[in-house]
Structure 1
Amino acid sequence: MTTDRRGLTRSELLLITAVALGTLLNPLNTTMISVALARLQDEFRLTFGEVSWLISTYYLASAIGQPIMGKWSDLFGRKRVFLLGLTLVTLASCLAPLSPSFGWLIGFRIIQAFGSSALFPSGMGMIRSQITAGQAKALGVLSIFSGTSAAFGPSLGGLLLHYGDWQLIFLCNFPFIAGSFLLAWKAFPRDTQKPGRLSGMDWPGVALFSATIFLWLLFFLSIAEGANAWTLAAAAGMSIWFYRYELGRRAPFIDVAFLRNNVNVTLIYAQFILTNIAFYSIMFGIPSYLQQVQHMDPQQTGLVMLSIAGFSVLVTPLVSRWIDRKGSKPSLVVGTLSTIAGSLLLLFIRDAAPVTVIFPVLCVLGFANGFNNLGMQTVLYDFVKKEETGIASGLFMTSRFIGTILSSSLLAALFGKAISTPQLHSMAWACAALGVFMLLLTLRLPAARPGLAKE
């Protein structure tokens, strides 16, 4: 077989491409919708708090779906689950544009979230089992690819809305789906194991986890109209119940014993949650603000949001080389400081602000995202043994979705029924405060322990 300069065979390159086209669907669809929120508010006559359910339910389904689909890929075969995921995304992308009401649209988005959640764990598992030489580089490329694709979502969504309507945001998935499906069908080896049983799942753990996340979501969404003490008490009680139940399970849905025994890893997850709250608050809040207060059309909004995506991509190769030489901690220090600086610079944006003011501020936030995204992905494996890579990666993705769920709750609390410049400034202060906590967690990071997985 022919190889490229990195030593990967042609079949391995096809496999990586199949996984890459599939895994970008989830992060891309999480942020493409941000530019369409104002349009959907008008179409279905919703407040921002109501339309934010389109975001939070997608993340809720993704947070639950990722570990479920990861377990299913072990039980039923990675190729089967990967193709099942693509089929579900296809079904949802066909039906969502035909939604007769907002409730139906939420339902189809949930199906889309579950389908796209199958692609990352099954695809990563396939790469780990099929690619031996250059595996770390292949996994790193995919991690960066899935992370930066989220930043391009608003720009792509803006262009689609300019030339059509919100339905195009779902229809544009088909080229990625078709490419991934055909390549996976050809490049993925046939599943050798016999299909497992659904009884192998920790279904009580799934139910408790789902209820815990949902109750916390309800509590944070209630803050805008006065925090509900009963919801807070129910969420806290459910969290304790979930923790104690999973601690006694031999094959838990979420391995809380792993979290308890790896304090540094747990704090990295906490920092990643904060990082995603800040990043996705900006990715969802800014497009709606630009359209409703600065009166930009979707195409202009998408082009302005390209500043975040562009700088994220531009700095990533530089960050990668810097991490190779100096480790992850310096990158995270720069990233968290940039998050604080970019958030505070949002305070200089006023009503009818020129693009020459808005664009540079968003560039700083894109710069921060490039450093934080790669830094968080690499620092995790400084404290994880090789045999713990699978569980650590799954919990890392769960942390991402918990952060995104909380970001939609923060926006609903801040923007409520309308969006204005003072509310944007409130979001800026909140993100700056999150940046301070991120910086403190970064500074407490010890040096990586010797003998752990650093490929």
Structure 2
Amino acid sequence: MSVRNWWLMISVGLGILLNPLSSSIVSVAIPSLQNVFQLDFTGVSWIIFSFYITSSIAQPVMGKASDLFGRRKIFLTGLVIAFIASLLAPLSPNFGWLIVFRIVQSIGTSMMVGVGMAIVRIHITEKQATALSVLSIFLSGAAAIGPFIGGVLIHWWDWPAIFFVNIPFVLASFLLAWRTIPKDEPPISVARNMSFRKWFDLIDASGILLFTLGLVALLVGLLSAKSSGHISLENVIVGLIGLVALGAFVRYELKATTPFIPLRTFAKYPTMTWVNIEFMLVNVLYYSLFFGVPSYLQIARHVSEFQTGLLMLSLGLCSLATSPIAGRWIDKSGPRPALLMSAILMTLGSVWLVTLSQTSPVISVCLALAAFGISNGLNNVGMQAAMFQSSPKEIIGVASGLFNTSRYLGTILSSLLISIVMGGKFSFEGFQVLGIILTVIALSLVFMSWRRRESGQLQES
């Protein structure tokens, strides 16, 4: 691989790591944000919800936009937006403005993830698998060390530091990307001759709006009811608006020429549908632990942010160490054995959380974190391989986009699960209930993985 390609890969990697870093680093900051803005856990959880809802919508949209306007332009524009959001978020006068800048940050970082992968696929033709594996290290590494970095920053400074830390990465990526990413102007027929209405239809703006309205309204209705402690008429109306909008979204997508989420594809290839469902459940489990344990340690066990970051590091390190081993195992045996082992480890980790008592050594949490970290390393490679095996080659691009959407939906559901279980205050009892629910979900994944092993569902298409 040439020196120029290595610099191209580094410039893209520094950009795409901003999304997982920004999403994971906030997990340690939640108790601090609760204290600063005087919010309960349900209220402050919107710092998580807003980022993932926006990312689940923005990433496929920005992929389409890059085809219209050029990938280099979209990537550089995303860096500028991420820079502005990271600079202004710490200056937020209230929590509402912080959410606004968090949404803007999500849009900016989402402009780089899918587009960055496309840039590498197009412009690096030699040792492409090596290039993509290096980018995956940027992605998984940033997510893994995010809580540790967050714990250190909050310990020595305060919560604004989790936004300021993005700025050096943004500047380095922008300077390198400006010099190394080749220009790729969009086709003249698309960029110049397409009317606004046709462009509007091409990106399926109506479908995106219905999906956003439905998901946000449904979550607001559920969270508001839980936060207030009772179900009011207003909560019911907002929730119903969400359900109606999601129903309208399904109906519209079935008729759309270029749907935001091609639902007919799921119906046509049921195995791919089940892979996405499993991946969503995997992320419900992983991120429930990812966001739940830091709050449990700091609020229920009174552990400092710095110590919490150190403990959470075991989750990321186990995941990073397992990924290359998982790759070699899956190359030899396929994804089924690795995914079954992953589901078993998540079950053991969930059971271990349930058995913890208020007098259990804090360090014992590391056993559950290690089990989930190893399972995450297996899942990162195994679920991707399962998706490729279950998806026809002619729609592999669409399948990859839907796969990422499943990841974000699982993350959103994990935040919702934590908020419903914990309500306004994070407690030891609530953490045990969360562990029981995670055990049930993990056992369902064991069953699904075993059934796939028995029936041999994952075959080459």
Report TM bin, short chain: over 0.9
Q: Provide, for residues 268-290 of structure 1, a one-character-per-residue CA deviation record: whole Å limited to 9, x for no partner.
A: 11111111111111111110111
Query: Normalised by the size of structure 1, how large is the TM-score?
Result: 0.93
State how 1:38-437 maps to structure 2 within 5 Å.
38-193=31-186, 194=188, 195=191, 198-199=199-200, 200-221=202-223, 224=226, 225=229, 233-437=240-444
User: C-alpha displacement at 1:212, in angstroms?
Assistant: 2.3
Q: Provide, for residues 13-54 of structure 1, a one-character-per-residue CA deviation record: whole Å limited to 9, x for no partner.
A: 222222211111111111101111111111111111110011
Query: Distance in 1 between the 2:383 and 2:31 partners?
Result: 32
* Worse-matched range after superposition: 135-144 or 110-119: 135-144
**Equivalent AA in structure 1 for residue 165 of structure 2:** C
Contact 1:220–1:410 under 8 Å retained in 2: no
Query: Distance in 1 between the 2:141 and 2:390 partners?
Result: 24
Q: SS in structure 1 opposite 2:338?
A: helix
Query: Distance in 2 between the 1:389 and 1:80 partners?
Result: 25
Query: Distance in 2 between the 1:220 and 1:400 partners?
Result: 21
Q: SS in structure 1 opposite 2:413?
A: helix
**What residue is the counterpart of 1:4 in the other structure?**
none
* Worse-matched range after superposition: 294-303 or 232-241: 232-241
User: C-alpha displacement at 1:232, in angstroms?
Assistant: 5.3
Q: What number of residue pairs does the alignment pair up?
A: 444
Contact 2:271–2:457 under 8 Å retained in 1: no
* Worse-matched range after superposition: 76-85 or 229-238: 229-238
**Equivalent AA in structure 2 for residue 103 of structure 1:** G
Distance change (3 Å), C-alpha of 1:305 and 1:405: same
**Equivalent AA in structure 2 for residue 365 of structure 1:** F
**Equivalent AA in structure 2 for residue 253 of structure 1:** F
Q: Structure 1: which 5+ residue stretches go unaligned?
A: 1-7
Q: Provide, for residues 169-215 of structure 1, a one-character-per-residue CA deviation record: whole Å limited to 9, x for no partner.
A: 00110121122212211111112224465434211111111122213
User: C-alpha displacement at 1:352, in angstroms?
Assistant: 4.4
Give RMSD over aligned pairs: 1.9
User: C-alpha displacement at 1:384, in angstroms?
Assistant: 2.2
Distance change (3 Å), C-alpha of 1:148 and 1:339: farther
Q: Structure 2: which 5+ residue stretches go unaligned?
A: none
Query: Normalised by the size of structure 2, how large is the TM-score?
Result: 0.92
**What residue is the counterpart of 1:17 in the other structure?**
10
Query: Distance in 2 between the 1:86 and 1:40 partners?
Result: 26
**Equivalent AA in structure 1 for residue 167 of structure 2:** F
Contact 2:87–2:167 under 8 Å retained in 1: no
User: C-alpha displacement at 1:138, in angstroms?
Assistant: 2.4
Q: Provide, for residues 345-380 of structure 1, a one-character-per-residue CA deviation record: whole Å limited to 9, x for no partner.
A: 012322243233222222122122111222112211
Q: SS in structure 2 opposite 1:94?
A: helix
Q: SS in structure 2 opposite 1:118?
A: helix
**Equivalent AA in structure 2 for residue 63 of structure 1:** S
**Equivalent AA in structure 2 for residue 399 of structure 1:** S
**What residue is the counterpart of 1:5 in the other structure?**
none
Query: Distance in 2 between the 1:265 and 1:220 partners?
Result: 30
Q: SS in structure 1 opposite 2:390?
A: coil
Contact 1:220–1:406 under 8 Å retained in 2: no
Query: Distance in 1 between the 2:236 and 2:344 partners?
Result: 34
Query: Distance in 2 between the 1:281 and 1:247 partners?
Result: 32
* Worse-matched range after superposition: 390-399 or 73-82: 390-399
User: C-alpha displacement at 1:137, in angstroms?
Assistant: 3.5
Q: Provide, for residues 41-100 of structure 1, a one-character-per-residue CA deviation record: whole Å limited to 9, x for no partner.
A: 111111111100111011111111111111111111000001111111000000001111
1:443 aligns to 2:453 (yes or no): no
